[in-house]
Structure 1
Amino acid sequence: MNIAKKTRNIGHIVEGKAKERTGRALGNKSLQRRGRAEQAMGKMKQAVEKGRESFKH
């Protein structure tokens, strides 16, 4: 897996966690949902990259 893509995907996951926790602390449901969505996007992209890598070998 390309290290740049992996780093970007992990960044989405971390940023999503931060948004979710901030939303929870502030009582902002919208921010919590956006954080969860961003985490899911990062995890999905990470899984796609792992799948691509397995087909290369």
Structure 2
Amino acid sequence: MGAGKKIKHTAETAKGKVKETTGKSVGNERLIAKGKAEQIKGDVAQAGQKTKDAMKH
């Protein structure tokens, strides 16, 4: 996996975690859901990239 893409996906996951935590702190269900969605999106993107890398070998 390219370092740039890995950093991007990891950052997206971390940003989602921050949104989820902030949403829990202020009681905002929409922000919690948005944060969880971003985490899932980042995790899926990382998994997809790892699969691509595995197929190259």
Which TM-score band (shorter chain)?
A: over 0.9
Offset of residue 32 of structure 1: 0.1
RMSD: 0.2
Q: TM-score, normalised by structure 2?
A: 0.99
Which residue in 1 is equivalent to 2:23?
23
1:3-57 Cα shifts (integer Å, max 9, x gaps)? 0000000000000000000000000000000000000000000000000000001
Q: Quote the residue 2:41 is aligned against.
A: 41
Q: Structure 2 unaligned runs (5+)?
A: none
CA–CA distance in structure 1, aligned partners of residues 41 and 12 of structure 2: 7
Q: Measure the CA separation in 2 of the matches of 1:6 and 1:54.
A: 15
Between the aligned residues of both structures, percent identity stands at 39
* Alpha-carbon distance in 1 for matches of 2:6, 2:48: 11
Hey, which bits of structure 1, 4+ residues long, moved more than 2 A? Answer: none
